Every structure is written in C-alpha cells, then in structure tokens.
Chains A and B, each alone.
Chain A
Amino acid sequence: IAGITQAPTSQILAAGRRMTLRCTQDMRHNAMYWYRQDLGLGLRLIHYSNTAGTTGKGEVPDGYSVSRANTDDFPLTLASAVPSQTSVYFCASSDRGIGYTFGSGTRLTVV
C-alpha cells in the first residue's frame, strides 16, 4: 500500500538523549515535511524539503535537524531532547503542493 511509514510509533526518551524519527515514503513525492501536533494547537511545521538534497526551516525548527539524502527518506533528529519536545510528530509528503499524505505519527514523550 502506497504511503508514508513512520517509526517508531511511540517512544519514551530521557532528556538529553539523541533521537531520530524515521520517515519513508514510496510515492516518489518531491516534497516532504515534519510537523508537530500539540494539544489545542494546529500542526506546526518543523522542517521541510522541496526535493532530495535540499532542506528548509519551518515555523518551529529549534532543537531539530533533518536530512534528505534521497527522495524516499526524511529523518528528523533531536540532538538533545528536552521535555518541551514531548509531542506527536507527523511526517508528510506532497506532489507539487497539491495532494498531501500524512504518516500515522510518532508519539514522543521526553522525561
């Protein structure tokens, strides 16, 4: 089934630890995105990539980094996790900004 796969589904992480959230798509979409979803707020863009080899900062990029070595993968790394990064993280991809497909999310708790 075509779509986006995120891993892990959920994670409890000690503050200060490094963590990489994985995202893979099989639709050959050029653009990919990372969002975080917090209670009472709309999804907020962390980082994006318009095409393989390029990345850009979104609305809330601090404390996060991304890479886009190929079309399919777009990992999100927390270099040193803090409790404020407790959230649900969604990876998404789009075909020329028209149709967006979201993954099922990674629920991260930083303690």
Chain B
Amino acid sequence: KNQVEQSPQSLIILEGKNCTLQCNYTVSPFSNLRWYKQDTGRGPVSLTIMTFSENTKSNGRYTATLDADTKQSSLHITASQLSDSASYICVVSVGEYGNKLVFGAGTILRVKS
C-alpha cells in the first residue's frame, strides 16, 4: 500500500531558530516528491519538487532533501519567521506519469516570538 508518513505531528519553535521536518514513504513506482505549505484556511502551496535523481532543492529559506535509497525526505527551515507557522505536507507522486498523489498527514509548525 502506498503510504507517506510525516514526523513530528506538530512542532513549536522560537522565531529565528532552524527546524527539520521528516517524511518517510513507501510508494511504487516513485515519480517525484513534493513539499507543500498550507496556511490555516488556505489550500496547499508548492515549495519544492524533486525527482528520483535530485538529492536537494532549495526555495529561499526552505531546503528539501531526498534519499531515494532509504525513501526518506526532509524539509529544513532556516531562520524561521512567524509567517512560517503552517502545516507542511509531504506528497509523493506515483506512477509512470506521476499523476497519482499520495499525501502525508502534515506537520503543524508553530513559530512563536
């Protein structure tokens, strides 16, 4: 069964600190892995997308890593800001054309001052 598991479920950090969110997946066949940010009351917005051959990808203060051998990904947030408070969702695309998405339950991040 295709599954995406994220940890931790929730996290509270102080503004300015770094944090790392984890994603483990068991899907086949793997197409790509995406990280989304979802603000409260909004739809998910894409942060990064990585294919099998990519190990890391950055988007500003967000850096995603992918280890296709261990089927793990992480999202590192540097110098957190209050606006980073959101749910972060790991999504894996499955299939030859990558048009089937398997969503993790998300990690709720709260950044406090």
- Interface of A with B (CB < 8 Å)? 4, 31, 35, 40-45, 50, 90, 92, 94, 97-100, 102-105
Contacts and interface: CB of A to CB of B under 8 A. Distances in A.
Contact of B89 (A40, A42, A94, A98): A42
Nearest to B103: A42
B46 A103 contact: no
Interface of B: 4, 34, 41-46, 49, 89, 91, 93, 97-106
A99 B46 CA distance: 8
A11 to B, nearest CB: 15
B93 A41 contact: no
A39 to B, nearest CB: 9
A109 B89 CA distance: 24
12 contacts: A42-B104, A43-B89, A45-B100, A45-B101, A92-B43, A97-B93, A98-B98, A99-B46, A102-B45, A103-B43, A105-B41, A105-B43
B99 A42 contact: no
A104 B103 contact: no
Contacts of B45: 102
Nearest to A6: B43
Contacts of A100: 34, 46, 101
A31 B102 CA distance: 17
A24 B94 CA distance: 26
Centre residue among B42, B46, B97, B101 by max chain A CB count within 10 A: B101
Contact of B42 (A31, A98, A99, A105): A105
Nearest to A91: B43
A97 B96 CA distance: 11
A102 B44 CA distance: 6
